[in-house]
Amino acid sequence: MVASAAAFARKTLAIADMEVRRLRHDPTELLTRALQPALWLLVFGQVISRGHVVDTGDLPYLDFLVPGILAQSVLFIAIFNGISIIWERDLGIVHKFLASPTPRAALVLGKALGGGVRALIQAVVVVALALLLDVRVRWDPLGLAGAAALILLGAAVFSTFSLIIACLVKTRERFMGIGQVLTMPLFFASNAIYPTSMMPGWLQVISHLNPLTYQVDGLRELLLAGALPPGVGLGVDFAVLASALFVLVLISARLYPNIAR
Amino acid sequence: MSSISMRALTREFGSTRVVDRLDLDIESGEIFGLVGRNGAGKTTTVKMLTTLLPPTSGTALVAGYDIRTQAAQVRRVIGYVPQALSADGELTGYENLLVFARLFDIPRAERRRRIADALAFMELTDAAGRLVRSYSGGMIRRLEIAQSTLHRPRALFLDEPTVGLDPIARHAVWQHIVKLNAEYGTTVALTTHYMDEAEALCDRIAVMHKGAVVAVDTPQGLKARLGPDASLDDVFAHFAGGSPEGDGRYADTATIRTTADRLG
């Protein structure tokens, strides 16, 4: 039992390490990905902030927005993981992994962890932008470590989710379509750019079922120094994301072999 | 002793029977060729033997393990090189081997030496630190074979190992397959639709047509069945012939084209 758990962890890390090595060989992707959050903060954030359109209590709107945009960029990176699995299937890479003695869940989790590392690097960019915009960040080592953990967890949730979609739709073209259809609603039906309290009742319900809401909620608490709007608490945030991940890994480990057939 | 034995191995996709009750025994240490036209069921057979695809009925034993009920054990003792170019172009040759050394549970202390040996065996030592996307097609194939044999598998499955390669690269890949088989006694099961490849490499050949095996013998034996002057191409045309249309699904042809394109 212990030996097989160690082997599982080892193989998960081997897959994640491979993803990180790829990124090291070609880091240009990180730069291009930084553009989107920069636009959201520098353009959208500034405009909405000046117009005082969104009521965020005593917290400046830009402060409120930073964790939301951080979570959004994690979401977009993670959703991209699904398309890479289709690409790897077309190249035969997936087949070779599946024919090796690697537990399916380790393949899924390793890939998710690789997405998490990309997301962490993105987080550094977003926080740097936030500092430029005078957002008051809480410089507490424990808070930062917690935020890093939450980013990894959130990235893993959405990577695994996108892997499930990839296993179901199987072609790049279909995935591109569905990816768009899923990411935007996940983003808008969350508390990322406006508080849940501003939403109509039906949207509030959806927002409470959306894992992204819990990631944003946790990140606000861990990263911001100002007066926060009431949240659900870190315990709930972590618990919701961890349970979502558990269920999604179980489902995707079952579906993953289908992609090679 | 047989290393791979198929017992009424069958696979259907919907109402189409793609592999039809295969009963084949591949002996330990043998290089065995599955030949047939595109769509004859070769790749589907390999996918079943490598546990990627469950059979609809029947089963097979690989190194004594049942592909249906002992898939995890089968995966420990096989190596597999799929038809598409499956080495990761974004990583170096060394890194491609490293990840598989870890997945195959090769102990940390041994990894470095095992990888160095595999690179030397496939004559890739000088290219080990380069990104694989700068490799030639033949080098990629050799790297893939190295990847899939790091753990010294009992049986190695090669799906169309030289599709799209130029003649010189093909001969280099053949040499390495023969050397691997001679030095480590690895059983090799390969699919091909090139008759010169089957003749150069295989101890025995099974001709597949529409999912079934229509003839099994040594290359000499198969030729002798048709007459004193028959070539293996004649054998192929005789057993797997028929109309030029009709065989080969769109997806098979597309994969071969993509592979050939990537090889330049």
Residues A236-250 have pLDDT tens digits of: 999 999 999 999 999
Tokens matching residue B152: 């010294």
A96, B82: Cβ pair inside 8 Å?
yes
Q: What is each CA distance from B63 to B1, B70, B175, B257, in whole angstroms? A: 10, 11, 25, 33
Using a CB–CB cutoff of 8 Å, tell me whether A7 touches chain B. yes
Q: Please give the average per-residue pLDDT across B63-70, as a whole number.
A: 96
Q: Chain B: nearest CA to A116, how far in angstroms?
A: 19
End-to-end CA distance of chain A: 31
Q: Please give the average per-residue pLDDT across B260-264, as a whole number.
A: 59
Q: Please give the average per-residue pLDDT across B1-7, as a whole number.
A: 88
Using a CB–CB cutoff of 8 Å, tell me whether B148 touches chain A. yes
DSSP string, B134-176: GS-HHHHHHHHHHHHHTT--SEEEEESTTTT--HHHHHHHHHH
According to the model, what pLDDT value does residue A32 have? 85
Q: What percent of chain A is predicted at pLDDT more than 70?
A: 100
Interface-testing mutation among A95, A170, A171, with chain B (most B C-beta atoms within 10 A): A95
According to the model, what pLDDT value does residue B259 have? 66
B86, A93: Cβ pair inside 8 Å?
yes
A100, B104: Cβ pair inside 8 Å?
yes
According to the model, what pLDDT value does residue B258 have? 65
Give the H/E segment covering residue A251. helix A234-255
Strand partners, A23: none
End-to-end CA distance of chain B: 41
According to the model, what pLDDT value does residue A261 have? 79
According to the model, what pLDDT value does residue B1 have? 64
Q: What is the rounded average pLDDT for all residues in chain B?
A: 91
Q: pLDDT, tens digit, for every residue of A201-234?
A: 999 999 999 999 999 999 999 999 877 878 889 9
Please check the confidence at residue A168 and state whether its pLDDT lies above 80: yes
Write out chain A residues lying below 8 Å of B258, CB-based.
90
Q: Smallest Cα–Cα separation from A120: which of A151, A159, A78, A84?
A: A151
Q: Chain B: nearest CA to A181, how far in angstroms?
A: 27
Write out chain A residues lying below 8 Å of B90, CB-based.
22, 25-26
A61, burial (CB in 10 Å: exposed 0-12, middle 13-18, buried 19+)? buried
Least confident of A27-36, B5-14, B107-116: A27-36
According to the model, what pLDDT value does residue B260 have? 62
Q: State whether residue A257 is helix, strand or coil.
A: helix
Q: Residue A68 and residue A70: Cα distance in Å, rounded? A: 5
Q: Residue A98 and residue B191: Cα distance in Å, rounded? A: 20
pLDDT band per the 50, 70, 90 thresholds, residue B256: low
Q: Please give the average per-residue pLDDT across B220-228, as a whole number.
A: 91
Q: Please give the average per-residue pLDDT across A159-183, as a whole number.
A: 89
According to the model, what pLDDT value does residue B85 have? 83
Q: pLDDT, tens digit, for every residue of A79-118?
A: 888 888 888 888 888 999 999 999 999 998 999 899 899 8
A91, B81: Cβ pair inside 8 Å?
no
Q: Residue A164 and residue B218: Cα distance in Å, rounded? A: 46
Residues for chain B: how many in total? 264
Asked if residue A116 lies in contact with residue A156, where contact means CB atoms within 8 angstroms, the answer is yes
Q: Residue A237 and residue A212: Cα distance in Å, rounded? A: 10
According to the model, what pLDDT value does residue B255 have? 65
Helices B232-240 & B219-226 angle (0-180, nearest 10): 70
Question: Between B53, B100, B131, which is nearest A100 by CB?
Answer: B100
Maximum pairwise Cα distance, chain B = 56
Please check the confidence at residue B245 and state whether its pLDDT lies above 60: no
Q: Please give the average per-residue pLDDT across B58-62, as a whole number.
A: 97
Asked if residue B169 lies in contact with residue B137, where contact means CB atoms within 8 angstroms, the answer is yes
According to the model, what pLDDT value does residue A34 have? 86
Write out chain A residues lying below 8 Å of B82, CB-based.
92, 95-96
Asked if residue A241 lies in contact with residue A150, where contact means CB atoms within 8 angstroms, the answer is yes
Q: Residue B87 and residue B81: Cα distance in Å, rounded? A: 9
Residues 89-118 of B with CB under 8 A from A: 90-92, 95, 99-100, 102-105
Q: Please give the average per-residue pLDDT across A168-196, as a whole number.
A: 90
Q: Chain B: nearest CA to A171, how far in angstroms?
A: 12
Q: Chain A: nearest CA to B227, how far in angstroms?
A: 40
Using a CB–CB cutoff of 8 Å, tell me whether B77 touches chain A. no
Q: Residue B5 and residue A243: Cα distance in Å, rounded? A: 44
Using a CB–CB cutoff of 8 Å, tell me whether B211 touches chain A. no
pLDDT band per the 50, 70, 90 thresholds, residue B203: very high
Q: Smallest Cα–Cα separation from B91: which of A18, A111, A85, A10?
A: A18
Tokens matching residue A196: 């849940």
A101, B82: Cβ pair inside 8 Å?
no
Q: pLDDT, tens digit, for every residue of B14-57?
A: 999 999 999 999 999 999 999 998 889 999 999 999 999 999 99
Q: Please give the average per-residue pLDDT across B82-103, as a whole number.
A: 94
Asked if residue B5 lies in contact with residue B25, where contact means CB atoms within 8 angstroms, the answer is yes
Please check the confidence at residue B247 and state whether its pLDDT lies above 60: no
Question: Between B52, B72, B90, which is nearest A95 by CB?
Answer: B52
Q: pLDDT, tens digit, for every residue of B119-142?
A: 999 999 999 999 999 999 999 999
Residue type, B24: L
Q: Residue B56 and residue B11: Cα distance in Å, rounded? A: 5
A99, B75: Cβ pair inside 8 Å?
yes
Give the H/E segment covering residue B192. strand B187-192
User: In this prediction, does ipTM exceed 0.90?
Assistant: no
Tokens matching residue A166: 């990839």
CA dihedral A182, A188, A192, A197 (to 10 degrees): -140
Residues for chain A: how many in total? 261
According to the model, what pLDDT value does residue A95 have? 93
Q: Chain A: nearest CA to B224, how far in angstroms?
A: 38
Q: Residue A118 and residue A155: Cα distance in Å, rounded? A: 9
Please check the confidence at residue A260 and state whether its pLDDT lies above 90: no
Asked if residue B247 lies in contact with residue B40, where contact means CB atoms within 8 angstroms, the answer is yes
Using a CB–CB cutoff of 8 Å, tell me whether A26 touches chain B. yes
Interface-testing mutation among B68, B91, B96, B99, with chain A (most A C-beta atoms within 10 A): B99
Q: How many CB pairs under 8 A join A and B?
A: 77
Q: Residue B59 and residue A254: Cα distance in Å, rounded? A: 22
Using a CB–CB cutoff of 8 Å, tell me whether A97 touches chain B. yes
Q: Smallest Cα–Cα separation from B26: which of B60, B59, B56?
A: B60
Q: What percent of chain A is predicted at pLDDT more than 90?
A: 64
Bigger pLDDT: A257 or A17? A17
pLDDT band per the 50, 70, 90 thresholds, residue B212: very high
According to the model, what pLDDT value does residue A154 have? 95
Write out chain B residues lying below 8 Å of A86, CB-based.
none
According to the model, what pLDDT value does residue B248 have? 52
**Residue A248, Cα to own-chain centre: how many angstroms?**
14
